A and B are shown apart, each in its own frame.
Chain A
């Protein structure tokens, strides 16, 4: 019998807060983190809204508890800030006291800093301090700097499956625990805003000039965000022997591919349907046991139709309460899966259903509408959290209330 996997620590930083408590407070206050960028050099500065973490890099370093060091990109600093909180919350003062793995996720690694100096780096005539960023572009750079700063020396890995990256990091960590490789894993992702990704999504014509409106008939695209989030996962036997405080149980997951199109989901949401269905089956829960779905809900034309269709196909006329928290945090790409996994735990712990901000008009293709106002005092026992990405990558997680 494989071990159960528990969540015993969480840490995060997003545009709505530097830690879990601040995120919860802003969710309760229904305050969006969307605004305009202070740190990206772009002609879209005042045109395309983003959900930016409201600190320059030196302040982030202070939050992460380190002096700003050579070659530490914004991606690394966001990650370290979230990592510090996750370990602290799990009561881990030294990761070396028990074998602990680290599975990180990112989509563009250190691009946030390298893109600023790229043309200096490739110019043989130029020398300077920019050279400290020369080897920070890839996704392993942030993983290793976080690992080295914190002291991870067991298994480390970096995953990049577009917007489902950190959901896959959580899954991989849980599977390593179940197969007995390590008793404790820290999993999640980190993503900094870049001119590269902003222009990438804008060239695909799926960035909204207004604040994004998931599942709304008038939606016209997503807003990018940045942030980082990590969850500490422990095997049941380790958590009990360690007397860990158990926040929730990670009961199900599925990674499925659509094999439909490089950047668009299938119109009927085949991948989303399969991912949710299989994750729920693994969790041992039934359709009726699902109290809330934190949808991927990017507010792009395609995602919301196909994800909505998948919900209707799976749940029929009894689609559970659902909402997208992207209008709070923006779409944080590789970090989104872990950020939203933490929101799922908060929903369970606090009995909350978060509102899907900016919704006014039902989509004509769907019969369902998201939750639009904060709901409190709800009994939330099982949450599905969805993350779907380019390349047909679909990931669904089931997070459940811990019951002995």
Chain B
């Protein structure tokens, strides 16, 4: 199969001011609490007030980002809807577990149970856009968004005229604590701007929603093309190197999922060796580490290609920032287990 698709529209809600306006001119948002939280927009233009009241954060950011990406694309009839989420609605899951305990399994409100279902965001999007085509949700940690992307490219190859493809993730205080017990986060409070200088076990947490409208053929609206794609499950260092090497041709910028975690930094260091002299941008200080951070990386790469500009203000830790790029390699992995590589090109 020919791995190729075009980004027709995109939107991101993230810890940065990425949702509307001239996003690249927005100042860098940072944290020193090891947790980057989403900057939430005004949802009223997107979601009716009566629905909004019942929805938890991940449902709101997921649905709103999806709708914004459709607006951005100019596409009127949305085809298949495919998403990825590692953890789904944590807030609703926690709420329902707690209520079962608290009310001793009686007189429970079903809303958090319904919303805890991993495909509930997809169902909401379908309802709102009256999308009756194919609808699927992938839930595999650092492969969640990437499987949704693969599925979308397969759908385009099978004849779909477009797909709405995205990812969403939320972090809650409780889940942040749970993951701190098994070393997901740095033990010491870290300034997110110094993430890459503070090599130690763990990273900083993040969250966000990112959606794209994809097409199989380019249009005058196309913002970037995805021309290379690879997923590697628990690979050896050699397999990572071989995977990266296969994408060497013409790359003039490497986006990496570097996250300051000393335990898995060696994988990213292979990119340093294989791409000498090619500038690199790390993106986890912008969005934090989470299962679907790769979707944010793809958004950033596509924005850079579309605008032909790199937001220098977002990278105060780097001395030399190139003015622009034409072909970008994105390499990300989730705690050393799910490795993903993508090539993005200017259209």
Q: Which residues of A contact B (CB under 8 A)?
A: 42-44, 106-107, 115, 118-119, 121-122, 124, 131, 134-135, 138-140, 143-144, 147-148, 152-162, 168, 172, 175-176, 179-181, 195-196, 199-200, 202-204, 255-263, 270-271, 274, 389-393
User: In the assembled complex, which residues on chain B have CB atoms less than 8 Å from the CB atom of A195?
Assistant: 100, 105
**B132 close to A257 (CB less than 8 A):** yes
| Pick from A119, A154, A161: contact of B137, CB under 8 Å | A161
Which residues from chain B sit less than 8 Å from chain A, CB to CB? 1, 81, 86-88, 96-97, 100-101, 104-106, 108-110, 113-114, 116-120, 122-124, 126-127, 129-141, 143-144, 147, 151, 154, 157-158, 174, 177-179, 181-182, 231, 233-234, 337
The 6 closest A-B pairs by CB, nearest first: A391-B123, A200-B113, A160-B118, A203-B108, A257-B135, A203-B110
Q: Is the interface of B mostly helix, strand, loop or mixed?
A: mixed
What residues of chain B lie closer than 8 Å to A157, measured between beta carbons? 138, 140, 143, 147
Among A147, A204, A262, the residue within 8 A (CB) of B127 is A262
Flag if A160 contacts B119 (CB, 8 Å). yes
A390 touching B114, Cβ below 8 Å: yes
Extra contacts besides A257-B81, A392-B135 (4): CB < 8 Å? A122-B178, A158-B139, A160-B137, A199-B96
- Which residues from chain A contact B174 at a C-beta distance below 8 Å? 122
- Chain A residues with CB below 8 A from B101, complex form: 119
Total A-B pairs in contact (CB under 8 Å)? 169
CA distance A203 to B114 in the complex (A): 10
Q: How far is the CB of B172 from chain A (nearest CB, A)?
A: 11
User: Contact: A156 with B233, CB < 8 Å?
Assistant: yes
* Nearest B residue (CB) for A153: B233
**Sampled A-B contacts (30; CB under 8 Å):** A43-B105, A119-B101, A131-B181, A138-B139, A139-B118, A140-B140, A153-B233, A154-B233, A156-B140, A156-B143, A157-B140, A160-B118, A176-B154, A179-B157, A180-B1, A199-B108, A199-B113, A200-B114, A203-B109, A256-B134, A257-B133, A258-B126, A259-B127, A259-B129, A262-B120, A271-B132, A389-B119, A390-B117, A390-B123, A392-B126
- Structural contact, B139 and A139, CB atoms closer than 8 A: yes
Q: Are A204 and B105 in contact (CB under 8 A)?
A: no
Give the most central of A154, A161, A271: most B CB within 10 Å.
Answer: A161
Contact of A138 among B87, B106, B181, B337 (CB under 8 A): B87
**Residue among B109, B114, B140 with max Cβ neighbours from chain A (10 Å):** B140
